[in-house]
Structure 1
Amino acid sequence: MLQYIRILPSNKILWKWKSTATSIHLKTQYKAFSFTNKDGLRGNINTQISHLEQKSCANIFMIQKEPFIKIVKIYRWNPEKPTTKPYLQKFEVDLNKCGSMVLDILHYIKAELDPTLSFRRSCREGICGSCSVNINGINTLACITKVTRDQEKSLLIYPLPHTYTIRDLIPDMSHFLEQYKKIDPYLKRPEEHDFVGMRQLMQSERDRAKIDGLYECILCGCCSYACPPYWWAGEKYLGPAVLMQAYRWIIDSRDQTHEERLGKLRDFFSVFRCHTIFNCTKTCPKGLNPGRAIAELKRLVTGLTDKEKPDMETPVPSRCRGESVTTQCP
């Protein structure tokens, strides 16, 4: 009785026997053959299968799976053909020949079926946010969305809704990124402008915990482009993703310009176009809650609450105050 067989590419088989007399029947896609070893481990298996073609034994136990066809329909539009209207192109994809994620299917289609298919991707781990698309009506990331093995239901893939499309599944994120730029997404400490980067800014554990659930945003845009008020007033309303990041920098204990930041948001559209529909929270692929961040931001903008003073301060070194910085201060 054979306990296990290990296949090696050098036409050798390592084996382990439980009995002294065993017959093994091996089949390949080319021929069938058999051998009998009565001496257990002392037998020379290479002489027994010397009649095989000089091929890797890795093909001996290759199992040909039955094709599992999934219908995939993808939004297509080519700017080089402006007279052609956007359409859905149908592909038949064998799920046994590609990975289990939607991004794997897109790679397979581009490599094997249609090299003209265009889409964004980078990390393939749900970190960069490049592959955000609309899958079966939900904005999410293609790289972390698993394909259901249901042959009766088609897989529908569209670009993010309510965006200008550059080509196929590539949305134009220029406006979204310009809005993100307006909130100054970095620490600002005017009192220490000349000494930024010369030492670590201190922060207590309690203050650090305030930005949990905020800094993890990867700016994929799924929440903003699922927000109806952002569809209606996207030119003035900043949208869930940008507002959550605005709140992240306002609430950070190391930032010293929260009043300036709040002043930029005190208008009719920037924050208060949020109607608490919570599509943003439902669709976020990172499991964040932009709706809660916007609610807290509204309280700060209206003055119902104030930013708490930091638990820890990072004083400017005394010998650096008022001096021209030519060397790094401790």
Structure 2
Amino acid sequence: MYLRSGSKRKLSLGMCVFLREGDAAKNVAALSKIVNDVTAARCCFCTDDRHADSRVREGSIDHCIRIAVQSGMSLELALRLATLSAADCFGLADRGMIAPGRLADFCVLQDGPEFCVSSVYKRGVLASSIPKPGPAGQCICPPFSCRIPTKEELALPTGNLRVIGLVPGEIITEALESSKVGSVHKVVSVDRYRSAGFGVGLVKGFSFVKGAIAASISHDAHNIISAGVTDEEIISAVTAVKDSGGGMAVVCDGITTVLPLPCGGLMTPLSYEELLVRMDGLAERLQATGASPTAFMSLSFLSLTVIPHLRITPRGLFDGDSFKDVPILFE
């Protein structure tokens, strides 16, 4: 209800509202209720923060359309959000509809209610017939200059501690207290650019049974972020990401599995077919830890300090409400 009321207020102020279906944040179904013949011009879909395997299996904007229609939105309005409304929002007056003077960027759909795309055209040319560019060459990524924390440095004080609480389906977090919640795990943010240090906190909601994960995808500075059951596993996961020059790592049962991301620690030169195989292997190891399939995406947002309420940075915990660093120990 809060999500919809906040979006209605944004519309009343003349803002555009994006209905997002990412891997961690999923709000197309909830926000579909605010879309009608009047508001559709100021609403559009987006798929921010969605892994490649999700796009391959479920789709992108087409996935948003299917969810919106299943949630009660008419197909006509859903198609507008996916096309003309999005073009208008970004000031792209040369596209968004099939009309004279507009670019012939469009797709052809299969018959049936599932909104399945059969072919795509770019400027009137069948996209599958357009030659694909060759390899861009070697990725350039500055070396990771971080200092790996020791087990002793990951020790936390005793007492009532602040805890980052994950919210299912959202990127906001709750600010909790260790004395009032159950199972929690450590979360670590390691400065990848210099050996200045790292922050250590607690997080609730990953549901780890064993193991740890780490990644160099952590908005917006993209330091190495890790969470897990034991200090040793967290250290191993962070080390694996650093040694790979960036990536996503799972440590479980003494086995370390890494998906290297050599392009800035964020991207890979692999084809999507190769990437899908690698991500499936990583997902299998992640499942062995007991964590949610969206654990990596949830982890990546824990350092995004502009989103309420409690976050982790290499300096330690950050309160998004007071917008300042806070100690982990309640005084």
Of structures 1 and 2, the one with the larger relative CO (CA 8 A, separation 6+) is: 2
* Structure with higher strand content: 2
TM-score normalised by L of structure 2: 0.21
Indicate the structure (1 or 2) with the bigger Cα radius of gyration: 1
TM-score normalised by L of structure 1: 0.21
